[in-house]
Amino acid sequence: MIDLLLRIGHESFQWTTVLIALAIAFGVSLLLGVLILVINKFTQVKEDPRIKEVQDCLAGANCGACGYPGCAGFAKALVEGTAKLDSCGQTPVDKRIEISNILGIEVGGNAEPTIAVVSCSGGVKCRDKYDYQGYGDCVSQNLLAGGRKACEVGCMGAGSCVDACPYHVIECREGYAHIDPDLCRSCGLCIQTCPKSLIKRVPVSAKVYVACSTQCRGKDVTTKCEAGCIACGKCERNCPTGAIHLVNNVPMIDYSKCIHCYKCLEGCPRKCIKYVHPEDVPASSETAEQAK
């Protein structure tokens, strides 16, 4: 019975029809493949060879601090002219110069390597305007009435920058963030993360920085923070080279004029100018406390 069924099935099966169908399917697929190759050849967008050259010069950290998807995305944006070279803090100076030569642009910004510093030292010395209850990082706190600090630009010390740093060089002590200047890679992720924009870049050769960002002055500051700058202007007057000027009540340092005389620290009533590197603090000095 089985042999009879197989024989009947074999005799009724139209092999010719199957072979024709297969031939047609093969022909159609071959034709489509050729069409795809032709269309791809005429519509292909050739990548600018400079993109690869620029990418090879970048640091290769792929941290995204520049605002682009990795170094490849940043290199493409540089070639297209939609990004600035100084947006990458990790690329060495010699490589930045090489990129500028490839693209025919100026290096721009400060060609010297940089590190990040926190422009606030209030922390526990700054009054809280309410007790925060909830998830603890700074970004979350900032959603509620601009954060818990009485100072509108006070560091909340809740560690959003700590979480963002891929090199683990930031810690919060005494209620505000501290960055290890010897380990900072200046990638900029902490700068992007801080909801108060308190983290700034300074030249790696800098000896001092201003640890306050408030634009208030006098009593407006003293009622909120024990460490806030009151814009008295003493640092500006003490500087022999004119490297410090008050801009919107905030001392700004022109590091190209700074001669590391430390006159700006002397007599600062609020001690808001700090040493960048703790090892620079004199063993015995009236300003030694300002490094803490």
Q: CA separation (Å) from 35 to 23, 29, 30, 32?
A: 18, 10, 9, 5
Same domain for 270 and 239: yes
Same domain for 122 and 96: no
Same domain for 221 and 131: yes
Residues 155, 198 contacting (CB under 8 angstroms): yes
Q: CA separation (Å) from 199 to 96, 116, 117, 134?
A: 23, 6, 6, 24
Give residue 93's domain range.
49-103
Domain membership flag for residue 20: no
Same domain for 120 and 55: no
Give this prediction's pTM: 0.71
We report the CATH number of the domain holding residue 235 as 3.30.70.20
We report the CATH number of the domain holding residue 75 as 1.10.15.40
Positions of the chain with pLDDT lower than 50, given as ranges: 4-6, 287, 290-291
The per-residue pLDDT for 44 is 62
The per-residue pLDDT for 43 is 64
The per-residue pLDDT for 264 is 93
Same domain for 238 and 172: yes
